[in-house]
């Protein structure tokens, strides 16, 4: 038995994979990014009364190392999720969340459909320490007539009067690994067997980095209920065993009838033929053998007479031979 429920917001945790292309029947080619979505599990539903806001805490992946005690309490009774993220909900979206979302409920890529509009959040690739030309798109100094070693310099960073550098000044520094959100992306293809989602365009992050996918839409989850096998009563079990014994006895009787045995001479419990049945079978075999020999003699009388003459001739020759042997002695 399965239950379906709908929430008007889709969300999942995925891993960014390689970029590829999807070819359509009309000849269009769309560049897409593959996102691997393993089974996500609901860990908790946060409410304004308890936590001050609506949110769904979701876990994904599996971690092998030993968990800290706080995480052991959060994931008690669930798989050891490698990544744990929260998805905020508004009041309208959260009306069904508290009633329908249960701890331990799993879902995956099947909640998405081709054509869905989604928003993707991830962390950009790390670029290390970069200058102002790459980091802030500075144009650099003029490259002719008197410019020396100043082509990519930042230039002046402020006046001398204030005696300090104002906050927010664009200067060289660490670049990348920032939280980036891209909106208005389209789902092109959903591969349920492999658990891969193909989203049009480029996504933030490096290979195998974690990204959050969410957007409006019908969130349909299939919840399977496992039925426990009920123990059968003793009376029903005994009745079934009696039926099996009766079937075995009928099969043995049928086998004995087909082989020429008397079913009454067969032991019903062990299926072994009794001595009386064996003796009767031997007598019938001897009788059948005598009848066959008699039929052969009636069919070929010449052959029988010839055999008798040959026997008498052989006896006479043996007698003559014995007489000769005596005379020689």
**Could you state, in order of their start, the residue ranges of all structural domains in the chain?**
2-129+174-224, 247-300
* Three-state DSSP class for residue 241: helix
Across-strand partners of 22?
Answer: 30
CB 42 within 8 A of CB 74: no
Cα(6)–Cα(220) distance, integer angstroms? 5
pLDDT of residue 31: 96
pLDDT of residue 49: 87
Longest dimension (CA), the chain: 166
CATH 3.90.120.10 fits 2-129+174-224, yes or no: no
pLDDT of residue 322: 64
Catalogue the E-assigned strands of the chain.
2-7, 10-23, 29-36, 40-46, 55-60, 83-88, 106-107, 117-123, 128-130, 173-175, 179-191, 196-200, 210-215, 219-224
Task: Evaluate if pTM is beyond 0.75.
Answer: no
CB 16 within 8 A of CB 211: yes
Closest of 238, 274, 268, 265 to residue 250, by C-alpha:
268
pLDDT of residue 145: 86
pLDDT of residue 271: 46
pLDDT of residue 147: 86
CA 245 to chain centre: 40
pLDDT of residue 47: 86
β-sheet with 40-46: strand ranges across: 83-88, 55-60, 40-46, 106-107
pLDDT of residue 309: 56
CB 20 within 8 A of CB 35: no
pLDDT of residue 48: 87
Residues of the chain with pLDDT under 50: 1-6, 225-232, 257-278, 281, 303-304, 329
């Amino acid at each position: 038995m399965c239950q379906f429920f709908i929430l008007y917001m889709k969300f999942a945790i995925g891993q960014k994979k390689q970029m590829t292309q999807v070819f359509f029947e009309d000849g269009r080619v769309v560049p897409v990014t593959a996102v691997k979505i393993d089974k996500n599990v609901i860990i908790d539903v946060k409410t304004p009364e308890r936590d001050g806001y609506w949110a769904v805490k979701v876990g994904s992946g599996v971690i092998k190392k030993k968990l800290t005690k706080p995480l052991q309490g959060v994931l008690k009774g669930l798989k050891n999720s490698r990544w744990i993220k929260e998805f905020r909900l508004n009041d309208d979206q959260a009306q069904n969340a508290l009633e329908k979302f249960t701890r331990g409920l799993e879902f995956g890529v099947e909640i998405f459909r081709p054509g869905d509009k989604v928003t993707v959040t991830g962390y950009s690739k790390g670029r290390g320490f970069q200058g102002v030309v790459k980091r802030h798109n500075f144009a650099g100094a003029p490259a002719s007539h008197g410019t020396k070693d100043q082509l990519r310099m930042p230039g002046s960073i402020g006046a001398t009067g204030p005696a300090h550098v104002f906050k927010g000044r664009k200067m060289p520094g660490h670049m990348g690994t920032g939280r980036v959100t891209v909106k208005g992306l389209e789902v092109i293809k959903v591969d349920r067997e492999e658990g891969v989602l193909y989203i049009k365009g480029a996504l933030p992050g490096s290979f195998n980095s974690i990204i959050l996918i969410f957007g409006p839409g019908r969130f349909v989850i299939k919840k399977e209920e496992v039925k426990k096998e009920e123990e059968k009563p003793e009376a029903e079990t005994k009745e079934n065993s009696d039926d099996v014994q009766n079937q075995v006895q009928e099969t043995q009787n049928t086998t004995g009838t087909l082989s020429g045995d008397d079913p009454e001479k067969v032991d019903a419990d062990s299926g072994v033929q009794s001595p009386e049945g064996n003796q009767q079978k031997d007598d019938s075999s001897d009788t059948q053998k005598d009848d066959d020999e008699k039929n052969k003699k009636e069919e070929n009388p010449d052959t029988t007479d010839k055999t008798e003459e040959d026997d008498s001739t052989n006896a006479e020759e043996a007698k003559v031979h014995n007489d000769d042997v005596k005379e020689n002695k």
